[in-house]
Amino acid sequence: MDMLLSNPTFVLIQVLNSISLGMNLFIIAAGLSLIFGVLRVINFAHGAFYMFGAYIMFTVAQEAELGFVTGVVAAAAGLAAIAVIVERGLFRWLYDKEHLMQLLLTFAIVLLMGDIAKILWGTDQLSVSYPDALRGATDLGVTFYPSYRLMLAVIGPLIFLGLWLLIERTRWGRLTRAATQDMEMLSALGINVPMIYIVIFVIGSALAGVGGALAAPINSPTPGMDATIIVECFVIVIIGGLGSLWGSFVGALIYGFVFNFGSVIVPNWQDVFAFLLLMAVLLVRPWGLYGKPEREGH
Amino acid sequence: MGLHMPRGTLVVCLLIVGALALLPLLESRYLIDLATEIMVYALFALSLNVIIGFSGNVSFGHAAYFAIGGYVNAILLTTYGWPLWLSFPAAVVLSALAAAFVAYFCTRLTDIYFAMLTLAFSMLVWAIAFKWRSVTGGDDGFVGVAVPAFIDSRVPFFYFTLVIVTGSIALLWTICHSAFGQALVAVRENLTRAGFIGVNTRMMRGLAFVVAGTFAGVAGAIFAMYNRGVYTESAFWTESAQVLIMTLLGGMYSFFGPAIGAAVLYILERFANEYTQYWPTVLGVILLVIVLVLPEGLVGLARRLGARLVRRSGA
């Protein structure tokens, strides 16, 4: 606490820590929110997808020594493949069913993927080393800061920009936004709506994979990491507003700051602060900072 | 409906309670333990069904109130040396208060948002149990619960559980079949229309949540003494999912369905754990079957089969 008041460099480091944590979480939460925005399904298995991303990173970059970038690409591709299987094999039967059934289906996937991960990667905590180029610290003039975390702080906004351009500035993005409004009309106009669903699900899931791969050197892959991350993502998207890209971005940043500064001010209780913030937001804006009220009948 | 149990149901219930009361005559430790655990989980699942089956919301965080009941009872009995007749009601009241607090926030929202929020709040309870080491024992769990002498052995504890669980289920049945319960069903069937005819829907959904949390607290308080310990996992969201699966496996549109689901799932888990370490896979497959084939659970299946049998014999 005293450090916060007396040491500006310390504050700067905490700010950077908050941003880099927030941006890592944003990549994952954005996928969850994107999928909800279009498919109207909350994917509990998103956390398991993240975990698989981290494990794939371990196998590709650590065991096979194919390099860090290959690891990230492999995680994205692996999760895209899993997403296609899950969407075609299971999800598509449930679009017209109750939300409860959809939630339960995604929870069944959580259970199955948890066991598959145990079979493939065991139950030990695995470690993934930092890529050579980002192993050290970067000189910021006033202080040194770990290069890897700096990279996370930069890559998050880039992904945000990419997603924003895709959804707001391309024809395909317009169709996607139209699908969230009235998919029957879109379908009647000759647009292949199921294709939009698959692509969105693949992009969202690949984001979970990338988020997991990028988190792997910091949070060693281990069973149970899926359950922790999904709760963090829930808190972020509820604060930001489900289905809103801006919401995930701002929600993740807020979460990063509350978590980091919370742990400095009252060590060990940072999780609880995040929930207090969540309650405060809900009191003022039940649909989150950037969320819209659900229409009746949805 | 109304406040009288159909005679057939009443007879079956009395037979089950009677059979359970005679169970200790078999002198099987295994069976008594199994029956005690199933009774606790049956009450837990039935309590959850007040939210799901009656008010039509889905809670993914019901384990929180089970855990609160357990922790409070354990801590008051052990750390503070309270007698059972004070610690047990205190545990139940605190579970109810916690449920009321969470309901205040969650009932602002519906459907998926409601489910996510209940999950988030249950993880808050988990985080507190995990971090507040000096009081809860943290991730080592709260062990060595001081169980009162009069129920400190297997058979007396079994009877204690039988009495409390039977009484609680009777109370739950009465609540669910009262005017309150019928208003809840109206809310479940059509939230907007129930609102138009003058039902305070948010209040009703909140009350359902509190009733559910209260009885989950009862189940948790019993279970803490049975296990002589409470562990953080009991508040973890996967535990909430497990009780949700029990409820749905039995059938959410029938009052006793969840109890059947609890018994079936619990026995399956016991068996599965003897042969394989992959219980989650078994649970996942059961869940897929419920979602894709059996949305109304075992009771729904039995009803469908029964109807078919009647049609066939009539033709």
Is residue A290 situated within a structural domain? Answer: no
Is residue A293 situated within a structural domain? Answer: no
Residues of B with CB under 8 A from a CB of A: 52, 58, 60, 105, 108-113, 115-117, 119-121, 123-124, 127-128, 131, 192, 236-238, 241, 244-245, 248, 278, 280-281, 283-285, 287-288, 290-292, 295
Residue A295 has a pLDDT of 55
Average pLDDT on B22-34 reads: 90
Residue A203 has a pLDDT of 96
Spell out the domain ranges in chain B: 7-244
Most confident of A97-111, A176-190, B1-15, B215-229: B215-229
Is residue A23 situated within a structural domain? Answer: yes
Handedness of CA B85, B86, B89, B91 (dihedral sign): negative
Q: Do B115 and A103 touch (CB under 8 A)?
A: yes
pTM metric for this prediction: 0.89
pLDDT at A267 over 90: no
Average pLDDT on B60-86 reads: 94
Q: Do A271 and B131 touch (CB under 8 A)?
A: yes
Domain carrying residue A257: 2-284
8 Å CB contact between B291 and A108: yes
Whole-number average pLDDT of chain B: 89
Residue A141 has a pLDDT of 83
CATH number for the domain that contains residue A44: 1.10.3470
Given 3-state DSSP classes, what are the helix, strand and coil percentages for chain B, each rounded to the nearest 5? 80, 0, 20
Average pLDDT on B139-148 reads: 86
The C-alpha atoms of residue B46 and residue B169 are separated, in whole angstroms, by: 8
pLDDT tens sequence across A127-156: 999 998 888 888 888 888 999 999 999 999
Backbone angles phi, psi at A146, to 5 degrees: -55, 125
- The percent of residues above 90 in pLDDT, for chain B, comes to 47
Instruction: For chain A, count helices (H), then strands (E).
Output: 12, 2
Is residue A295 situated within a structural domain? Answer: no
Residue A1 has a pLDDT of 64
Q: How confident is the model at residue A296 (pLDDT cuts 50, 70, 90)?
A: very low
The HSE-up count of residue A193 (CA atoms within 13 Å, CB side) is 18
Average pLDDT on B209-235 reads: 94
CB pairs under 8 A between A and B: 104
Handedness of CA B44, B46, B47, B51 (dihedral sign): positive
pLDDT at B53 over 80: yes
Residue A298 has a pLDDT of 39
Q: Which of residues 100-119 of A touch B (CB under 8 A)?
A: 100-101, 103-105, 107-112, 114-115
Q: Which residue has the higher pLDDT, A18 or A276?
A: A18
Of A162-166, A183-187, A267-271, B201-205, give the lowest mean pLDDT range: A267-271
pLDDT tens sequence across A62-85: 999 899 999 999 999 999 999 999
Best CA proximity match to A42, nearest among A111, A88, A94: A94
Average pLDDT on B98-110 reads: 89
pLDDT at B2 over 70: no
pLDDT tens sequence across A223-244: 889 988 998 998 999 899 988 9
Q: Which residue has the higher pLDDT, A40 or B95?
A: B95
Best CA proximity match to B228, nearest among B27, B33, B23: B33
Residue B3 has a pLDDT of 65
Q: How distant, in Å, are the alpha carbons of A57, A172, B4, B151, B259 from that of B49?
A: 42, 43, 20, 29, 10
Average pLDDT on B215-238 reads: 92
Residue B86 has a pLDDT of 93
Q: Which residue has the higher pLDDT, B167 or A95?
A: B167
Q: How confident is the model at residue A294 (pLDDT cuts 50, 70, 90)?
A: low
Tell me the chain A residues in contact with residue B58 when contact means C-beta distances shorter than 8 Å. Answer: 99-100, 103
Average pLDDT on A280-290 reads: 85
Q: Within 10 Å of residue A287's Cβ, how many Cβ atoms?
A: 20
Average pLDDT on A56-63 reads: 94
Q: Do A104 and B290 touch (CB under 8 A)?
A: yes
The C-alpha atoms of residue A84 and residue A89 are separated, in whole angstroms, by: 8
pLDDT tens sequence across B227-283: 999 998 888 888 898 899 999 999 988 899 999 999 999 999 988 888 888 888 999
Q: How confident is the model at residue B315 (pLDDT cuts 50, 70, 90)?
A: low
Backbone angles phi, psi at A226, to 5 degrees: -65, -40
Backbone angles phi, psi at A289, to 5 degrees: -60, -40
Give me the residue from B123, B128, B290 closest to A231, CB to CB.
B123
Tell me the chain B residues in contact with residue A240 when contact means C-beta distances shorter than 8 Å. Answer: none
Best CA proximity match to B121, nearest among B72, B68, B76: B68
Residue B20 has a pLDDT of 92
